[in-house]
Amino acid sequence: MYQPHLRYGIIALGDSTYANFCGGGLKFDQLLQEQGAKRIGEMLKIDASEDPEPESVSNPWVEQWATLLA
């Protein structure tokens, strides 16, 4: 389904000790872009091996990302 009016943000959680670090988020981003959707801002990649509490990284990102929607 073509989604030219869809705007989105991506938070990808992964572990950098694996070869496919944040692979799910990267694939989802690619699929949305193939459907014509527009990513707002940069993707946030959270490394579970470095950030045991992902919300400490994601909460500030979400607050900043929300300002891009205005």
Q: Would you say residue 1 has pLDDT above 90?
A: no
pLDDT digits (tens, 9 = 90+) for 15-56: 999 999 999 999 999 999 999 999 999 999 999 999 989 999
The rounded distance, in Å, linking the Cα atoms of 67 and 28 is: 23
Q: What pLDDT, on the 0 to 100 scale, is given for residue 70?
A: 81
- No. of H helices and E strands in the chain? 2, 4
With CA atoms as reference, report the closest residue to 43 among 18, 21, 4, 3: 21
Q: What pLDDT, on the 0 to 100 scale, is given for residue 60?
A: 98
Residue 2 lies in a domain: no
The pTM for the full model equals 0.89
Into how many domains does the chain fold? 1
Q: What pLDDT, on the 0 to 100 scale, is given for residue 46?
A: 98
Residue 55 lies in a domain: yes
Instruction: Residue 39: give the domain boundaries.
Output: 7-60
Please report where in the chains the tokens 């993707």 appear, as a residue.
Answer: 43
Residue 27, CA distances (Å) to 18, 20, 59 in order? 16, 10, 23
